[in-house]
Structure formats: structure tokens, C-alpha cells
């Protein structure tokens, strides 16, 4: 027996997440992720077109920094997205406390 899958439009999903979050006192920040997968968080690069180099994404799941270190590509991209949202954060030491503050908003 076949089951029918119901698709939820992206805008409706965001609307529902925002509604549920606001009900719990959590602020939802929307942002876009351009240039975050081809720029290096560990090299302190801003996620901009000038710094973007898709060749440093070795293969799915792996990113190479300027000095040859490798990092999980999703982790690198996630930190770059955080950098876009919190541009005053200084490296990992600056991002983690800001991220922790955001997590505590709804507690």
C-alpha cells in the first residue's frame, strides 16, 4: 500500500517555527548562507564573494583551510553563518559565548 507524502512549503515551515518559538519566548533570526561554504572560519575569512573559493571544499563533508588543515565542511559553514549573524564575534572564543546567549534566551 502506497502512502502519500504531504509536502510543507518552506515559507509555511518558517512561519510555524517562528510561531512556536515566540510562544516559548525564543527569538528566531533569519539569515542567508551565501559564501559560507567556500570561505574559512579557521582562517578568519569573512564569508564574502572576494574570499570565496569552492576548490577548498575537497569533497562533500571536508573543507581545507589556507594552511592545509581540514575541518568538517558543515561545521565550517555553520560557524561562517554564525559569523554573518554576529559579525563582532572574535573567532571561536567570541562565537561560543554569543551562541550560548542565544540558546539561553528561551530558557
DSSP state of 70: E
C-alpha to C-alpha distance for 19 and 102, rounded to whole angstroms: 17
What is the rounded distance in angstroms from the CA atom of residue 53 to the CA atom of residue 28? Answer: 30
For the stretch 69-77, contacts whose Cβ atoms lie closer than 8 Å and that sit 24 or more positions apart, written own/partner, are 69/42, 71/41, 71/42, 73/37, 76/36, 76/37, 76/40, 76/41, 76/42, 77/33, 77/36, 77/37
Q: Which three cell numbers stand for residue 41?
A: 572560519
- Give pLDDT, residue 58: 87
Please report the pLDDT score of residue 1 as a whole number: 57
**pLDDT tens digits for range 22-80:** 999 888 888 888 999 899 988 989 999 999 998 898 888 899 999 999 999 998 998 89
**71: phi then psi, degrees, rounded to nearest 5:** -140, 150
pLDDT at 79: 87
pLDDT tens-digit readout, 81-98: 888 888 876 666 666 665
DSSP 8-class letter at 49: T
pLDDT at 26: 85
Amino acid at each position: 500500500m502506497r502512502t502519500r507524502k504531504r509536502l510543507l512549503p518552506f515559507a509555511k515551515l518558517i512561519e510555524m517555527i517562528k510561531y512556536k518559538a515566540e510562544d516559548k519566548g525564543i527569538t528566531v533570526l533569519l539569515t542567508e548562507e551565501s559564501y559560507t561554504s567556500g570561505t574559512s572560519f579557521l582562517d578568519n575569512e569573512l564569508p564574502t564573494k572576494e574570499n570565496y573559493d569552492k576548490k577548498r571544499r575537497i569533497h562533500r563533508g571536508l573543507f581545507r583551510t589556507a594552511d592545509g588543515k581540514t575541518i568538517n565542511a558543515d561545521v565550517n559553514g555553520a560557524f561562517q553563518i554564525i559569523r554573518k549573524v554576529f559579525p563582532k564575534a572574535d573567532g571561536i572564543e567570541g562565537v561560543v559565548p554569543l551562541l550560548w546567549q542565544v540558546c539561553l534566551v528561551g530558557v
